[in-house]
Copies of this chain bind each other. A is one copy, B any other.
Amino acid sequence: MGCVRVVVVAGGIGGARFLRGVRAAIPDAEVTALVNTGDDLTVHGMRVCPDLDTVMYTLGDGIDRARGWGRDGESWRVKDELAAYGADPAWFGLGDLDLATHLIRTRMLDAGYPLSAVTEALCARWRPGVRLLPMSDDRVETHVLVDAEPGPADAPRTGGGRRAIHFQEWWVRHRATLPAYGFVQVGLEAAKPAAGVLDALATADAILLAPSNPVVSIGTVLAVPGIRDAVRAAPGQVVGLSPIVAGAPVRGMADACLTAIGVATTAEAVGRRYGSRAWADGVLDGWLVDTADAAARVPGVRVEAVPLLMTDEAATTAMARAALTLAGV
């Protein structure tokens, strides 16, 4: 038999850590990380891909491990200078080391290279040990519907208009505290899967959905026209890992995203949202939940419970091994 092939659908921090576990759990496998680019944005004229960079830096040992994003030993001199000029946005965490990545990416994109080729070029330095694929070479940017004029938190809601702000503005600047009424993915309908994505899904022995944000990370990847169908049609087993443990997100503010789309913040509700491959639109064969959520049931899906906290490398590797086992690899 040939080399085992695994595709991991991933967002940023959680997806990156999980990918380290997969790499450790099955070192000889050919792993493809299919990464969300819906958080991408252009700041100060530079194209920034937060999730791709987090995965690249994490697997390339360049990440700030304590913070989970950005470069180890980072500084913020350019950001402070831009603020001294009064340049917007001042809230985005633009590190000096990180900035070099954005400059090279922007220059290559401007020269006509697709994002997948740019990512490959950047990875020539970082050698992440997995193949990094953006979900799409086309721009898809997630926006969040919020109140047009947010008043004080205790003010009566006036029922006035809504406005859409970039996901990063909602997430980073407002720490997901502005009530969200939905997500609008600009560019999604016209987006195509990046070169290599459909082929990776069609030849994978297993497809894992990392314990990333189910709405704005995994949900966005699956919403790229063609990707959900390719996952549903894939010959390999599809196993997801719950990012919700005991009714709360393990990290990040996924609860705010789930609330916005009317899904409860439970491992069971997220599993049901993904749904069984046996039924229309579902993508799961297996659903891995934390031992705290062992009672979760998802119709048509094998649910298993193991510890799902990525507290250290060993715990993360064990999670990855459990997911691969559930997928029959």
A residues apposed to B, CB below 8 Å: 44-46, 75, 77-78, 81-82, 84-87, 96-97, 99-101, 103-104, 106-107, 110, 122, 125
Residues of chain B within 8 A (CB-CB) of A78 are: 78, 96-97, 99-100, 103
B122 and A100 contacting across the interface, CB-CB below 8 Å: no
Contacts of A87 in B (CB 8 A): 100, 103-104, 107
Other-chain contact of A45, B75, B84, B106 (Cβ < 8 Å): B106
Of B44, B81, B110, which one neighbours A97 at CB under 8 angstroms?
A: B81
A104 close to B77 (CB less than 8 A):
no
Contact in complex: B84, A103 (CB < 8 Å): no
Contact of B125 with A85 in the complex, beta carbons under 8 Å:
yes
Find A44's partner among B44, B75, B107, B125 (CB 8 Å cutoff): B107
Give CA–CA (A125, B85) in the complex, Å.
6
A44 vs B106: C-alpha distance when bound (angstroms): 9
Whole-angstrom distance between the alpha carbons of A84 and B125 in the complex?
A: 8
Of B85, B104, B125, which is within 8 A of A122 by CB? B85
Q: A168 CB to closest chain B CB, in angstroms?
A: 17
Given contacts A45-B103, A87-B103, 13 further A-B pairs with CB under 8 A are: A44-B107, A45-B107, A75-B96, A77-B96, A78-B97, A78-B99, A78-B100, A81-B96, A81-B101, A85-B122, A85-B125, A87-B100, A87-B104
Report the separation of the CA atoms of residues A96 and B46 in the bound assembly, to the nearest whole angstrom.
15
Copies per complex?
Answer: 2
A44, A45, A97, A125 interface centre (most CB from chain B within 10 Å): A45
Closest 4 CB pairs of A and B: A81-B100, A45-B107, A77-B96, A44-B103
Find chain B residues with CB under 8 A from A110 CB: 45
Specify which chain B residues have a CB less than 8 angstroms from the CB of A101 in the assembled complex: 81, 85
A107 and B44 alpha carbons, distance in the complex (Å): 7
Q: Are B107 and A85 in contact (CB under 8 A)?
A: no
Find out whether the CB atom of B106 lies under 8 angstroms from the CB atom of A85: no
A85 near B97 with CB under 8 A, answer: no
Shortest Cβ gap from A295 to chain B (Å)? 49
14 intermolecular pairs with C-beta atoms under 8 Å apart: A45-B103, A45-B107, A45-B110, A77-B96, A78-B78, A78-B96, A78-B97, A78-B99, A81-B96, A81-B97, A85-B100, A85-B101, A85-B125, A99-B99
Q: Which residue of B lies closest to A105 (CB)?
A: B45
Give the Cβ gap from A127 to chain B, nearest Cβ, in Å. Answer: 13
Measured between C-beta atoms, what is the minimum distance from A13 to chain B in Å? 21
Shortest CB-to-CB span from A100 to chain B, Å, is: 3
